[in-house]
Amino acid sequence: MSRFSVSRIGRPLLAFLLALAVILPFGGLTQASAAVGGVTMTSVNLRAGPSTRYPAVITMPPSASLSVYGCIADRSWCDVSWSGSRGWVAASYIQVYYAGRTTVLTPAIVPAIGIATVAFSAAYWDTYYHSQPWYGQWNHYYVGSSRTVVGGCGEHGCGGAVVTRGPYGGGHAAAGGCHDGHCGGASATHGPRGGAHAAVGGCNDERCGGASVTRGPYGNTVIRRGGFDRP
């Protein structure tokens, strides 16, 4: 059996194999991470969601090394990990390396260094906090969201109304009612950036009909009408 030597494989090939050994550790190919490195400016809580209303997962010390995975749309809070814990911290408490120096993670710097825009949802909560004592309190902590339902019946039938408001200014309202055996309903949805959608429907003695109006955040409008005969 011939002896293995650098001269046999060549230095360039050896360098490639050493690099490959870093990429392919025991157990196979590792997935490249899109996270950006950062550090905490001071001692700060790692939160279970993008608001101080969420419970603290852990308190991070000053200069803690973070992996930043993304920030919400307004770039005020970012999804990070530290010391095996995953959660959210206000961007104003994070420093990153940008333009040759360490600087606070401002909304302008977030896209400049390639940090993605991410959303917070119940799926995130389910993934990282199922072992936490407050895990079952999602509806209590989900910041800014609310849902109101009103219903009742009178001599002519039953009706109901519901209003749902999202954490970033979006809202949805729906109402329905019945009279003399015929029912109708209406709903309106407002997005956080000015978009809106409204729909209304009802039935008379002969037929049912509906209409919807959708308004975009920049003034565009779509109107749809439809109807069908009563069976």
3-class state of residue 25 by DSSP: coil
Q: What are the CA-CA distances from residue 120 to residues 25, 135, 161, 201 (Å)?
A: 32, 15, 28, 34
Q: pLDDT digits over 104-134, tens only? A: 999 999 999 999 999 999 999 999 999 999 9
Average pLDDT score over residue span 150-179: 60
Paired tokens of 225: 């009408």
Q: What are the CA-CA distances from residue 107 to residues 36, 67, 73, 180 (Å)?
A: 15, 17, 10, 56
In contact, 92 and 77? CB cutoff 8 Å: no
The confidence band for 212, taking pLDDT boundaries of 50, 70 and 90, is low
Average pLDDT score over residue span 154-182: 60
Average pLDDT score over residue span 1-27: 38
pLDDT of 228 reads 42
Q: Which residue has the higher pLDDT, 95 or 218?
A: 95
Judged against a pLDDT cut of 50, whether residue 79 lies above it is answered with yes
What sign for the dihedral angle of Cα 75, 81, 86, 90? Answer: negative
Q: What are the CA-CA distances from residue 145 to residues 109, 121, 133, 230 (Å)?
A: 29, 12, 22, 38
Average pLDDT score over residue span 41-61: 97
What's CA 41's distance to the chain center, in Å?
25
The secondary element (H helix, E strand) that includes residue 64 is none
In contact, 160 and 176? CB cutoff 8 Å: yes
The mean predicted confidence, pLDDT, of the chain is: 73
The confidence band for 3, taking pLDDT boundaries of 50, 70 and 90, is very low
Burial class from Cβ neighbours inside 10 Å (0-12, 13-18, 19+) for residue 105 reads buried
